[in-house]
A and B are shown apart, each in its own frame.
Chain A
Amino acid sequence: MTTAATGKPVAGAEPAPVRARDLAPRRTTRAYSSEKRRSTLLTVLLWLCALYFVLPIAWLVIASTKDNSDLFSTFGYAFGHFNLFQNIHDVFTVSGGIYLQWALNTVIYAAVSALGASFLATMAGYAFAKYRFPGANLMFSVVLGAIMIPLTALALPTYLIFSQFGITNTPWSVIVPSLVSPFGVFLMRVYAADAIPDSMIEAARVDGAGEWRIFWQVGLRLLGPGIVTVFLFALVATWNNYFLPLIMLNSSNLYPLTVGLAQQQATSAGGGGSQAMFSTVITGSMVSIIPLIIAFLFLQRYWQTGLASGSVKE
């Protein structure tokens, strides 16, 4: 990456292509040899660290089971009157059930953006890895350099351009800018270079397969873990995005969860009169993080393999 981030991919800097199976975590023997020397001190230290990351989420989960008055009157990590189901009911019914609309928007924006971004990045990364064509190095350098452009700095001019075409305040204004993933292209290029043996492409060509068919039938099959990695990171990036939808969208029924929750929080903290909504905002926040956590747990094996090959190359 030292070479990559300067925007100058150095030809031949990478080691010779490795076989696809080498990309799986390699050290199966080491687990046994280290079995005998567990360190209690390290274990305790690590679990203390883990506590720091878990305690806030634990608080969120516990707080989501309390009603508003218990939030103020009980200790943060103690349960009060169990009000979780009432809170969830409130989350989905307040303001005419707008939360469900936000959740739906989030899913649509994130899924469409991530699918599109990973598809575009996969094709481009495959081409950069497996073809030599005029202009390839220049194009790849520009794409790599773009990793360093702060995307939030682009949001403002993009907004101005979109408003001239009248496409602000539409789903597209959030989805289209999220389709660009320069890091995804970088990751896919590194991954494709290793995962697809040249001999396999050559063999397919000898058999008379067209380039598109080779990509579709040989490439995609071998690029699985890499695609899942790019997909997940694009998914998280869009799912968690706040800045872009905040400036692009005006109508609250187009908001994703992030913007909606922030707005709800602002009204409840601003002392919206009789309607104290702290427990609703807290429960809404808790519900909103469940899908991504589940997605990461289930796809763990894939994205960790994909990341492993992407992060180690020069």
Chain B
Amino acid sequence: MTQSVVAPRGARPGTRKRANANQRRQHRAAYLFVAPFLLVFVLMLLVPLFYSGYLSLFATRLVGGSQFAWFANYIRAFTDADFLAGVGRMGLFLIIQVPIMLVLALFLALAIDSGRARGAGAIRLLVFLPYAVPGVVATLMWGYLYGQDFGPIAQVFRALGFGAPNLLSASSILGSIMNIVTWEFVGYNMIIMYAALRSIPSELFEAAEIDGAGQFRIAWSIKIPAIRPAIMLTVIFSIIGTFQLFNEPSLLKGLAPNVIDNAFTPNYYAYNLAFINQDVNYAAAIAFLLGIVIAIVSYVVQLSTQRREAKAS
């Protein structure tokens, strides 16, 4: 960013006075430009964040009401089997669903970008289409598709003479949710990667093409390294999205009430704690822990890729 700074610096002594006045004026303008955003940012992001941290340090007792309790809520969370099960479920999500989704997105982005397929433009739009579908509608829709009554999946199985699979049973619900999330977000990730691919200067791989390198080789050795920042962006967003999962379990609960418990995902658990159990302090601690887990996981992922990069170069 250093190159793009306009403010005059280190002016000669004779002009310093005017330069300083200019600089002050520009500083003032910059602060005014940033101020509205920062105001809302502080009020709607930092204040709730600290308030949530503050709340999480209190506990409501039957006698005496709300009392300062140090880290009791956090200790409780670490021994709360329901919460840990939810985190574990999200861990599974992270190591199964996120790689599948991102590899599929990367494959589609590379394939569309390679220009080797017919109707690539149309495919790109169709793959992106689910992003315009709200998570609620997507879940309702897949809920019907999974359904035993008039779901087409069950209909096909019955027509082929098999029994209809129960896609909302305890053993398959996580997979069913993974499928919904994959369906919703492959297009979004694909578009981010595709946009990055489009801006690789073509000289980078035209030489390789002339030398007879195959498409896979070009993709692996030139294109994927070139869009690594964009891929990292999608990884981070996917981690955040995974731990925030709420819509899918809360809506599918209506269809499979005995399969999805109140702590199915940590976020859903925090919601239920706050609004059904009325245990705001514990809910705040869960939400706060969730943020910390996300930050740690994102950081570890970044660190490991940076180390790999350092090793490679």
Interface residues of A (CB under 8 A from B): 1-2, 5-6, 9, 11-12, 14, 16-17, 25-27, 29-31, 34-35, 37-39, 42-43, 45-47, 49-50, 52-54, 56-57, 59-60, 63, 71-72, 75-77, 120-121, 123-124, 126-134, 136, 139, 143, 146-154, 156-158, 160-161, 176-177, 179-180, 182, 185, 189, 193, 198, 201-202, 210-212, 215, 236, 239-240, 242-243, 247, 257-259, 261-262, 265-266, 269-270, 278, 281-282, 285, 288-289, 292-293, 295-297, 300, 304, 307-314
Do residues A53 and B40 form an inter-chain contact, with CB atoms below 8 A? no
> Could you tell me the distance between the alpha carbons of A179 and B26 in the complex, rounded to whole angstroms?
26
Label chain B's interface by main secondary structure. Answer: helix
Do residues B267 and A150 form an inter-chain contact, with CB atoms below 8 A? yes
Nearest opposing residue in chain B for A267, CB measure: B254
Proximity string of chain B (229-248) to chain A, C-beta cutoff 8 Å, 1 when within and 0 when not = 11011001000100110110
Do residues B202 and A312 form an inter-chain contact, with CB atoms below 8 A? no
Do residues A157 and B1 form an inter-chain contact, with CB atoms below 8 A? no
Interface residue? B164 (CB, 8 A): no
Given contacts A131-B29, A269-B254, A309-B199, contact A161 B48 (CB under 8 A): yes
A residues less than 8 Å from B119 (CB atoms): 43, 47
Given contacts A266-B254, A311-B192, contact A150 B244 (CB under 8 A): yes
Proximity string of chain B (108-119) to chain A, C-beta cutoff 8 Å, 1 when within and 0 when not = 100110111111
Partner of B6, one of A128, A202, A236: A202
CB B313 to nearest CB in A, in angstroms, measures 13
A residues less than 8 Å from B144 (CB atoms): 59, 63, 278, 282
Interface residue? B85 (CB, 8 A): no
> Could you tell me the distance between the alpha carbons of A189 and B152 in the complex, rounded to whole angstroms?
47
Shortest beta-carbon contacts, A-B, top 5: A76-B152, A211-B29, A127-B33, A131-B30, A124-B37
Nearest opposing residue in chain A for B297, CB measure: A148
A-B contacts, 24 listed (Cβ < 8 Å): A2-B306, A27-B198, A35-B115, A38-B116, A47-B123, A49-B108, A56-B138, A56-B141, A76-B152, A123-B36, A124-B37, A126-B33, A132-B5, A143-B41, A154-B44, A156-B270, A158-B44, A257-B134, A259-B136, A261-B140, A269-B255, A281-B140, A288-B134, A311-B192
B residues less than 8 Å from A149 (CB atoms): 45, 49, 291, 294
Q: Range of interface residues on chain B?
A: 35 or more
Do residues B202 and A56 form an inter-chain contact, with CB atoms below 8 A? no
Interface residue? B27 (CB, 8 A): yes
Partner of B191, one of A128, A150, A297, A304: A304
Interface residue? B77 (CB, 8 A): no
Do residues B134 and A139 form an inter-chain contact, with CB atoms below 8 A? no
Do residues B40 and A56 form an inter-chain contact, with CB atoms below 8 A? no
> Could you tell me the distance between the alpha carbons of A57 and B125 in the complex, rounded to whole angstroms?
13
Do residues B229 and A313 form an inter-chain contact, with CB atoms below 8 A? yes
Partner of B141, one of A60, A269, A300, A307: A60
Proximity string of chain B (7-21) to chain A, C-beta cutoff 8 Å, 1 when within and 0 when not = 100000000000000
Do residues B115 and A31 form an inter-chain contact, with CB atoms below 8 A? yes
Do residues A120 and B233 form an inter-chain contact, with CB atoms below 8 A? no
Nearest opposing residue in chain B for A62, CB measure: B152
Partner of A128, one of B34, B49, B302: B34
